[in-house]
Amino acid sequence: MILERMIGLKFIERLKKRKELYALEIEGVVVEVVRKAIRRVYLRVYPPDGRVRVTVSHRVSDEALREMIQKKMEWIRRHQTRVVRSIILPMSLEDEKRHREELKVQIPQLFEKWQPIMGVKASSWGIKKMKTRWGSCNVRTGKIWINLELARKPHHCLEYIIVHELVHLLEPSHNHRFKAFMDKFLPGWRSHRAELNHLKC
Ligand SMILES: [Zn+2]
């Protein structure tokens, strides 16, 4: 359907009839396959919705193609996040003001709740618009930044980011120690992370 928007309908029909255009589902991701007389394999993730298309020679079997794409899954997901990120709905100035006010109430409450439990303390915090991250923590200064966009997510997502950034005061990198802290403090953190579409934090 998305493809039809990109290229002419008649052309699409012709390709489909010749089985030069079809879709494969791989690990829950729909991949459009275009068969062409080419040597290289072209894999692309397109805005605005992160659809995936692979252009490949007729000689590569579907099975081999599947295997090839499976190996690229991490790359695909990373690029999907990057592409889809750019279609975050714009926030009106009015909304922005309201959301900042909401977060200014919620964030201190969460710090007050978690800091005694975790035995750490942020030196200061702030709210800002960020394109690539949900939050950040400067482990040297102890300052934590929270993405304004979290105001439009469920409250548990904000809580997850707060806990995540506070854990950085215990462990700067995302290693096994970091994950062990997350498991201890917030056992459901993995599903919250998935909900947040893999932006960094
Ligand atoms: Zn982090």
133: CA distance to ligand 1 center in Å? 9
Q: Evaluate whether the domain defined by 93-195 bears CATH number 1.10.10.60.
A: no
36: CA distance to ligand 1 center in Å? 42
Contacts of 158 (CB under 8 A, 6+ apart): 103, 106, 107, 110, 146, 150, 151
167: CA distance to ligand 1 center in Å? 8
Q: Is the peptide bond before 48 cis (omega within 30 degrees of 0)?
A: yes
**Residue-wise pLDDT tens digits, 114-164:** 999 999 999 999 999 988 899 999 999 999 999 999 998 889 999 999 999
178: CA distance to ligand 1 center in Å? 9
26: CA distance to ligand 1 center in Å? 29
Alpha-carbon gap, residue 199 to 191, rounded angstroms: 14
171: CA distance to ligand 1 center in Å? 9
Cα-Cα-Cα-Cα torsion 84, 181, 128, 85, nearest 10 degrees, comes to: 0
Return residue ranges of the chain for CATH 3.30.2010.10. 93-195
194: CA distance to ligand 1 center in Å? 14
Amino acid at residue number 179: K
All residue ranges of the chain with pLDDT < 70 are 1-9, 11, 48, 84-89, 197-199
Q: Kindly report the pTM of this predicted structure.
A: 0.60
Contacts of 159 (CB under 8 A, 6+ apart): 110, 186, 192
